[in-house]
Amino acid sequence: MSGIEELAIRLRASLGHERVVTDRQELRTYECDGLAHYKVVPALVALPQNTAQVAEVVRACADAGVPFVARGSGTGLSGGALPHADGVLIVTAQMRAIRSISPEDERAVVEPGVINLQVTRAATPHGYYYAPDPSSQQICSIGGNVAENSGGAHCLKYGFTTNHVTGLEVVTPDGAITRLGGRAPDAPGYDLLGAFVGSEGTLGVATEVTVRLTRLPESVRTLLAAFRGTDEAGAATSAIIGAGVVPAAIEMMDALAIEAAEAAVACGYPAGAGAVLIVELDGPSAEVAAQFDEVNRLCEANGAFEIRIAADDAERALFWKGRKSAFAAVGRISPDYIVQDGVIPRTALPEVLRRIDELAAAHGVRVANVFHAGDGNLHPLVLFDDAVEGQAERAEEASGAIIDLCIEYGGSITGEHGVGADKAKYMPRMFTDDDLDTMQLVRCAFDPAGIANPGKIFPTPRLCGERPGRHRGAVEYEGAEVF
Amino acid sequence: MSGIEELAIRLRASLGHERVVTDRQELRTYECDGLAHYKVVPALVALPQNTAQVAEVVRACADAGVPFVARGSGTGLSGGALPHADGVLIVTAQMRAIRSISPEDERAVVEPGVINLQVTRAATPHGYYYAPDPSSQQICSIGGNVAENSGGAHCLKYGFTTNHVTGLEVVTPDGAITRLGGRAPDAPGYDLLGAFVGSEGTLGVATEVTVRLTRLPESVRTLLAAFRGTDEAGAATSAIIGAGVVPAAIEMMDALAIEAAEAAVACGYPAGAGAVLIVELDGPSAEVAAQFDEVNRLCEANGAFEIRIAADDAERALFWKGRKSAFAAVGRISPDYIVQDGVIPRTALPEVLRRIDELAAAHGVRVANVFHAGDGNLHPLVLFDDAVEGQAERAEEASGAIIDLCIEYGGSITGEHGVGADKAKYMPRMFTDDDLDTMQLVRCAFDPAGIANPGKIFPTPRLCGERPGRHRGAVEYEGAEVF
């Protein structure tokens, strides 16, 4: 009997038969996450219902020396939840209880399978919401958000998942249950919460998440500004931030992204726009009103030829509809596409967008840009047709070249989608050996056997147990400064 | 020749004679930090001037198996910089360069010995300041702030040091130089920055700190509200926070603290006040004006018998003078005192303050309360006279009983002063063995030899190298939830 067969027997005994999947056809449902060009069928899928069952699965894996990967809704875009062919996939989607909503201390306690938007829905009657809003918020899980430290359009003002998680219950890779953080803004001892959030499942599995709730703003105002091109829209973005205004969101779409959105959802953006900005302000009414006038003025001063102001929630939703559907919408103008994710210094936006255009032309592909301009967090969509010989390869090359460009400009290889399986190869471009060694030491502290989501984040698998050959005394190093 | 003598020869050769102190009289200067009732004379003091020299000192310690403790200005209140009798004290006070102030991306890069207030002074001409403001900000160092994750009066709105440090260069306990974080809000890989900030020197020595600069607010308004007692002042605090206003600060002083402040600096607080609140709002003028009216109204509704509004900066400074001098001022009404630091849920403030009164009476000591009411972060000052037989012991007991009280109410053993040497014994009251094991694993990852500030934070020294006997499968545990 194979190790996996023995594991299946043990897990069926403790979790129940229906919570353990080994049928090949059923297993194929889980072969990839949102990054569909990597596919690996797991050896076994476990569907635990509570913390004790997650601990039982992890303990069984640890005893058998079998790797495990945790998965929420499977919407991630970096292959962070890509299964291991000889391993167990722990799907937390059935752990969906919202355990508490506490307006009095602005906290919610939820299970990892809870959908991002459900937290906001549960908090809204109390006058609160959950701020981090990935585009996939209608389907992505809080557990997955924790693993990837997910962002979203409104992270410019409100920060990423890591800024909104105050406590975790986690199962460590030896099957122990522990707590990191709590309800307070700070606690004694090491802050391991920050290290866990964004660790992409390599330090364990989150089984309960305490998040900060944010008060619904008194006022929200949204404008859509149309520009002739991305140069002007980029300059307007820099001018707004430079003026000390922190909008809730500044989103940019270029001509090709606008074309796709129009084709898909007929959002009716201004004709002739080479770029649009969606700028949203929220907060106390008095503040929003004053700053909104300034944003309006700065857009005009930087070449906006039409500015629309959302008169009500319906019009506001229409502005966002084009933006939020943009990723899917490119399917209307291209059979296949790659969603890239990288960060550049905001001030370099116009120049980098021009160079992306040149790169696309050189590779014979089209690139649509739709992104979080305020953060400098690019999401180039590299369009291609898999049916045309060689196009997929050229698209991959162009996509990789865009990441090279981000690094060249002092940026980062990922803004919010994570490293996952996809970008581990780029890590040595951003970090020195010493930097990566320090991360590996922590990984080994949590996971000496290397069974928690192996193959993700780190470019080179390495056994724990030995101190790495650190470059002691090397005073010269490449910094990992990013903007 | 002893190990320390050999170390002194090696360090004098590399750092220069005048940067290595071994004279017993000179060493006594460093025998304690701000928590003066623990005193240990170090075996050697090193005064490095740059990162390479810090690395050289740490490497020499690692080679010799000698413990080291880092120290900034030595103003800490938990004994975090208490020296080791057989170890090296690394004083970073001579690393005082502000390397850059960059308003364009709201960052400053400073050396660890830079004084907190100097960062604000350097940033002010650009329209910025450094938000975390410990009461000791005129003398405490940024490196020390990083070690202890220091807070201050304005952390209610702006967060602690950890929320304002975006990148560190650190020397790890094997003498390697590495970087954690950078200039960006987020970066790929593990976020070890959060774990390092507040690790009290047990993971290494920070040699360069990148901090976020905060834009000077357009408007600041401050009021002083006098109440008959702490019950009313506590209720007003809860009402303000409950109304969704986030003041920059809400500080409370009780009758004894007011008496001390009046004796010391004649701040002229309203006569007959059993408690005062200082509430400060900052931000855009329009927002501040609207919220200020509400705060005023809520203070009145909760029993304030006199409310003064600062007409200008001079009056504002006078309000704060009493508060900021309060710790030192108790010296006017008591020969000796202990500064305690604990956190409770804000809503429990009136009840806990009553119980502190009872505790004080039972121990035959007086307790003055002056604290960050908005955070529920208490700073009881336990007054005693060391010349009176038994009073010091009773004061110690009362001070410990206050921490027990914080834990009983679901709070925390430290709000902003750190665990240090002083509170390691309380850690098992807040954390389970599994929680502490997880922290120890990380400590061992950075410091397998256990030479970085040993004896701090953790209640029981333990050798690294073995996996701890974790309580695998134990689903029941004491949570470490704090408010």
DSSP string, A173-238: TTS-EEEEE-SSS--SS---HHHHTTSTTSS-EEEEEEEE-EEPPSEEEEEEEEESSHHHHHHHHH
Query: For A290, which of B284, B343, B472 is closest by C-beta distance?
Result: B284
Contact B200, B82 (CB under 8 A): no
Min Cα–Cα distance to chain B from A104, Å: 7
C-alpha–C-alpha distance, residues A441 and A477, integer Å: 19
C-alpha–C-alpha distance, residues B364 and B401, integer Å: 13
Query: A186, B160: Cβ pair inside 8 Å?
Result: yes
With contacts defined as CB-CB under 8 Å, which chain B residues touch A107? none
Sign of the torsion angle spanned by Cα atoms A454, A459, A461, A463: negative
With contacts defined as CB-CB under 8 Å, which chain A residues touch B414? 188
Q: What angle do CA B153, B156, B158 make, to 5 degrees?
A: 95
Min Cα–Cα distance to chain B from A441, Å: 5
Query: A431, B189: Cβ pair inside 8 Å?
Result: yes
- Nearest residue in B to A217, CA atom: B244
With contacts defined as CB-CB under 8 Å, which chain B residues touch A424? none
Query: B178, A435: Cβ pair inside 8 Å?
Result: yes
To probe the interface with A, which of B59, B186, B241, B295 has the most A CB atoms within 10 Å?
A: B186
Listing DSSP states for A38-59 in one string gives -----SEEE---SHHHHHHHHH
- Nearest residue in A to B418, CA atom: A188
- Nearest residue in A to B471, CA atom: A176
Query: A438, B191: Cβ pair inside 8 Å?
Result: no
| Strand (E) or helix (H) holding B9 | helix B3-15
Backbone angles phi, psi at A2, to 5 degrees: -75, 165
- Nearest residue in B to A105, CA atom: B483
- Indicate if B334-422 has the same CATH topology as B217-328: yes
Contact A162, A418 (CB under 8 A): no
User: How many beta-carbon contacts under 8 Å exist across A and B?
Assistant: 249
What's the topology of domain A217-332?
A: Alpha-Beta Plaits (3.30.70)
Query: For A183, which of B151, B438, B483 is closest by C-beta distance?
Result: B483
Contact B81, B39 (CB under 8 A): no
List the one residue out of B151, B114, B199 whose CA is nearest residue B377. B151
C-alpha–C-alpha distance, residues A264 and A326, integer Å: 8
Q: What angle do CA B73, A479, A241 make, to 5 degrees?
A: 85
Interacting residues of B149 by C-beta distance below 8 A, sequence separation 6+: A186, A191, B160, B161, B162, B197, B198, B416, B418
Residue type at position B371: F
Min Cα–Cα distance to chain B from A90, Å: 17
Tokens of A292: 């909104």
Query: For A414, which of B159, B188, B416 is closest by C-beta distance?
Result: B188
CB burial string A31-57: b at 16+ within 10 A, e below: bbbbbeeeebbbbbbbbbbbbebbbbb
- Nearest residue in B to A148, CA atom: B188
With contacts defined as CB-CB under 8 Å, which chain A residues touch B290? 284, 286
To probe the interface with B, which of A178, A209, A237, A238 has the most B CB atoms within 10 Å?
A: A178
Contact B215, B127 (CB under 8 A): yes
Centre a 10 Å sphere on the Cβ of residue B117 and count the other Cβ atoms it contains. 17
Query: B188, A286: Cβ pair inside 8 Å?
Result: no
Backbone angles phi, psi at B442, to 5 degrees: -70, -40
Query: A188, B55: Cβ pair inside 8 Å?
Result: no
C-alpha–C-alpha distance, residues A414 and B188, integer Å: 6
List the one residue out of B68, B51, B55, B54 whose CA is nearest residue B176. B55
Residue type at position A453: N
Say which CATH architecture domain B334-422 belongs to: 2-Layer Sandwich (3.30)
Min Cα–Cα distance to chain B from A263, Å: 34
pLDDT of A325 reads 86
Min Cα–Cα distance to chain B from A272, Å: 32
Query: A189, B439: Cβ pair inside 8 Å?
Result: yes
Q: Which residues of chain B have pLDDT under 70?
A: 1, 183-186, 465-483
C-alpha–C-alpha distance, residues A111 and A49, integer Å: 10
Min Cα–Cα distance to chain B from A99, Å: 15
Domain B1-216 sits in CATH 3.30.465.10: yes
Beta bridge partners of A277: A225, A252
- Nearest residue in B to A458, CA atom: B189
Contact B451, B173 (CB under 8 A): yes
Backbone angles phi, psi at A450, to 5 degrees: 65, 40
Query: A343, B184: Cβ pair inside 8 Å?
Result: yes
Min Cα–Cα distance to chain A from B481, Å: 4
Instruction: Return the domain boundaries, chain A.
Output: 1-216, 217-332
How many residues comprise chain B? 483
Backbone angles phi, psi at B120, to 5 degrees: -60, -45
With contacts defined as CB-CB under 8 Å, which chain A residues touch B413? 188
Q: With helix as H, strand as E and coil as C, how does B297-358 read? A: HHHHHCCCCEEEECCCHHHHHHHHHHHHCHHHHHHHCCCEEEECCEECCHHHHHHHHHHHHH
- Nearest residue in B to A439, CA atom: B190
Min Cα–Cα distance to chain B from A285, Å: 8
C-alpha–C-alpha distance, residues B145 and B137, integer Å: 10
Residue type at position A303: G
| CA A11 vs CA A45, A61, A203, B373: distances in Å | 10, 10, 22, 50
Listing DSSP states for B30-70 in one string gives TS--S-TT-----SEEE---SHHHHHHHHHHHHHHT--EEE
> Collapsing DSSP states into helix, strand and coil, what is residue A261?
helix
Query: A430, B180: Cβ pair inside 8 Å?
Result: no
Query: For B149, which of A186, A443, A479 is closest by C-beta distance?
Result: A186
Query: B479, A182: Cβ pair inside 8 Å?
Result: yes
Sign of the torsion angle spanned by Cα atoms B278, B284, B288, B289: positive
Across the beta sheet with A88-91, the strand order is A20-21, A44-46, A88-91, A68-71
Query: B441, A443: Cβ pair inside 8 Å?
Result: no
| Strand (E) or helix (H) holding A98 | strand A98-102
List the one residue out of A477, A454, A451 whose CA is nearest residue A40. A454
C-alpha–C-alpha distance, residues A6 and A19, integer Å: 15
Q: Determine the angle formed by the axes of helices B230-242 and B349-363, rounding to 10 degrees.
A: 150
| CA B288 vs CA A140, A169, A286, B294, B309: distances in Å | 37, 38, 9, 10, 13
- Nearest residue in A to B57, CA atom: A473
Query: B176, A434: Cβ pair inside 8 Å?
Result: yes
With contacts defined as CB-CB under 8 Å, which chain A residues touch B158? none
Cite the DSSP H helix spans in A272-348: 285-301, 313-324, 326-329
With contacts defined as CB-CB under 8 Å, which chain B residues touch A470? 174, 176
> Collapsing DSSP states into helix, strand and coil, what is residue B381?
strand
C-alpha–C-alpha distance, residues A263 and A251, integer Å: 19
Query: A188, B427: Cβ pair inside 8 Å?
Result: yes
How many C-alpha atoms does A195 have within 13 Å on its Cβ side?
A: 26
pLDDT of A186 reads 65
Domain B217-328 sits in CATH 3.30.70.2190: yes
Sign of the torsion angle spanned by Cα atoms B2, B6, B7, B8: positive
What is the rounded (10 degree) CA torsion for A334, A339, A342, A347? 40
Query: For B194, which of A195, A432, A475 is closest by C-beta distance?
Result: A195
C-alpha–C-alpha distance, residues A106 and A118, integer Å: 16
Pairing of strands A306-309, B380-384: unpaired
Query: B190, A439: Cβ pair inside 8 Å?
Result: yes
Min Cα–Cα distance to chain B from A211, Å: 13
Q: Which residues of chain A have pLDDT under 70?
A: 1, 183-186, 465-483
Min Cα–Cα distance to chain B from A103, Å: 9
With contacts defined as CB-CB under 8 Å, which chain A residues touch B468? none
Pairing of strands A128-129, A214-215: antiparallel
Interacting residues of B236 by C-beta distance below 8 A, sequence separation 6+: B225, B227, B277, B298, B299, B301, B302, B303, B304
Tokens of B287: 């927002």
C-alpha–C-alpha distance, residues A345 and A410, integer Å: 7
Centre a 10 Å sphere on the Cβ of residue B221 and count the other Cβ atoms it contains. 22
Query: A475, B51: Cβ pair inside 8 Å?
Result: yes
Query: A193, B194: Cβ pair inside 8 Å?
Result: yes
| CA B474 vs CA A26, A42, A55, A177, B286: distances in Å | 32, 28, 9, 7, 54
Burial class (CB within 10 angstroms; exposed 0-12, middle 13-18, buried 19+) of B128: buried
Residue type at position A410: G
With contacts defined as CB-CB under 8 Å, which chain A residues touch B176? 434, 437, 470-472, 474
Measured in whole angstroms, how far is the alpha carbon of residue A138 from the centre of its chain?
14
Q: What angle do CA A209, A210, A212 make, to 5 degrees?
A: 135
With contacts defined as CB-CB under 8 Å, which chain B residues touch A160? 185-186
Min Cα–Cα distance to chain A from B315, Å: 26
